[in-house]
Structure 1
Amino acid sequence: MCITAENALAAGFPSLLRLRPAAGGGAPVRREVAQLSDEALVEAIARSDEAALGELYDRFGRVAYGLALKILRDAALAEDAVQEAFLQVWRGAGGYRADRARASTWLLTFVHRRAVDLVRREERRRAEPADSLPEPSGPGADEAAAASSRREIVQQALQRLPAEQREPIELAYYGGLTQSELAERLGQPLGTIKSRMFTGLQRLRGLLVEAGFDSA
């Protein structure tokens, strides 16, 4: 069977790795795609370039999964969120505008939205009455509900930050990148990255206070 981007994504998150061209004749293609900017990769994906989708996953799959896992606290659901986000990229790359957002910000927005959708779906599912099951109660249920509420408050606050502040914070927190790695990834001077992160974190704290966030 011919493996296309859509059926590879539908088959499961790890199958994205199969989008990489085979060794040998595909090596020049890999080198060519690897040299493209993030934005150029999305443009190539809009032309149904599966190798470009694989390269985008190689660059941001870890960060995307980290973001989804932080929101969902469930590995399987996080994989689902990332899989569906990359499927949205494949289908919607033609609508991407580089003058409006970086490719990484655009991608992580898909991941964030899908992860939040899954959180809400799971909360609705747990809220449905089940005759055979007792109503969840006690400290464990209360703590889980409080943790879910705190995560949603933080995610809503992050989305209110300007993209140039939100992006390095998300890449550092969810992707584990150092400030030097962020500077290289985003093509910005290290001092600019430090300034944006400092300003962004200060603004984030203010937004969390406004939202009544309780970290205890």
Structure 2
Amino acid sequence: MREAVHIGPNPAAEPDLQQLVGEVALGDREAFAAVYDLVAAPVLGVVRSVLRDRAQSEEVTQEVLVEVWRTAARYRPERGTALNWILTLAHRRAVDRVRSVEASAAREERAALLDRLPEYDEVSEQVEARLEREQVRRCLRTLTELQRQSVTLAYYRGLTYREVAEALALPLGTVKTRLRDGLIRLRDCLGVGA
């Protein structure tokens, strides 16, 4: 009977990951280097499957391996294999990064919305101006047609008294009288002091 041929590294020669993590817990740097070599690729694979971004995946992989160095004493063999423990750390860290990025984007979006909101003073000024315009419109409706036309041409279109008189085909004196009477009625309607 032929002996089984094994291709690749000799499994008997590979150090036991569980034992290496135990040595890392005692501060053994060589053991950590061996753990790093054994798990860096699988950790990167798990992280990359969550993050999809290569640069962030590499960064998170480094964070996970540092966490393995710092927390190796927390590993409990009775709860599962060392590789599963490390890959669980990797998955959690990757998910945390996704949540952090999403929270940051949400904060930035809220800040951008706040930047687009007008200041309180600006809002109150807009409301006040709108109310004033509405009151002026209401008061303009109380004028006679000739007064309203004269005031509109002179104050809203910027025509001179002479131009208003020409536009309405009226004598200049009549336009001046209508403007004066119209402005007095507007002042009284708007409650502006004399």
Q: TM-score by structure 2 length? A: 0.48
Q: Which has the larger radius of gyration?
A: 2
Relative contact order higher in (CA < 8 Å, ≥ 6 apart): 1
After TM superposition, the score normalised by the length of structure 1 is: 0.43
